[in-house]
Amino acid sequence: MKITWLGHSAFRLDTAKAKILIDPFFTGNPGFQGLDAKDATKDITHILLTHGHGDHVGDTLQIAAETGATVVANFDLCMWLAHKGLKNFSPGNTGGTIGMEGFTVTFTNALHSSASITEDGISHALGNPNGLMLHFDDEPSLFHMGDTDIFSDMGLINELHQPDIGIVPIGDRFTMGGAVAALAAQRFFNFKTAIPCHYGSFPIIDQTADKFIAGLDGTKTKVEAPKAGGSVEV
């Protein structure tokens, strides 16, 4: 599996049977500047969304229209996107699992919010925020936590799913910060590899992964913190 960080919380996963985008926020994402959207979306088969905030839904509608990729998100968010023209989607909700070609997606809890204020100035409730637990046929399991704080039921997520790879928000202010994120990874998970996200983009969140890296120093978890556009092979 090849995991490419596209800035903020956006990732591309290249697997044996699928090409997946998670939270494809490109337009307006400072962390995506200088990267090529065509390269990022080439041959994409699926788009997975953790929640309805604009810095996660991002360019989903355009990418889905151009590629025909299946969008996987919570029911409310899928219905909202369908109202805006989305054609190909597979909705779920917290605790549910969806089977795709070569992998499954399970929606987990996350401590955050998910409404969106749109052009009409109205706040639209877009379901609950989620983490996304991915199990693949012949590749490591991966947990994208979404935007969240630490919570004790992370231990249950690990017990149920035992993810090998964790994509962990660390930027503070809107999610847990690096030190707390490192505590979550140590106390509740047994990640072989942890990849930080939701940092280094907007100036009001942390700009480096230093606290997260320091917090996991000396543990069995290997921290991979590529530059935006950089990839990790697992």
**Angle value at C-alpha 99, between 93 and 100, nearest 5 degrees:** 115
Nearest to 157 by CA among 73, 218, 92, 94: 94
CATH number, domain containing residue 91:
3.60.15.10
Residues of the chain scoring pLDDT < 70: none
Q: Answer for the pair 207, 228: CB distance below 8 angstroms, yes or no.
A: no
pLDDT tens by residue, 172-209 = 999 999 999 999 999 999 999 999 999 999 999 999 99
**Residue numbers of the domain that contains 128:** 2-233
pLDDT at 55: 97
pLDDT at 81: 97
List all residues 6 or more positions away from 223 whose beta carbon is below 8 Å from its beta carbon.
193, 194, 195, 196, 209, 212, 213, 216
Domain count, the chain: 1
What are the tokens at 82? 């369908």
Residue 183 phi, psi (nearest 5): -60, -45
pLDDT tens by residue, 125-136 = 999 999 999 999
What are the tokens at 34? 């200088």
Q: Answer for the pair 148, 136: CB distance below 8 angstroms, yes or no.
A: no
HSE-CB at 27 with a 13 A cutoff on CA atoms is 8
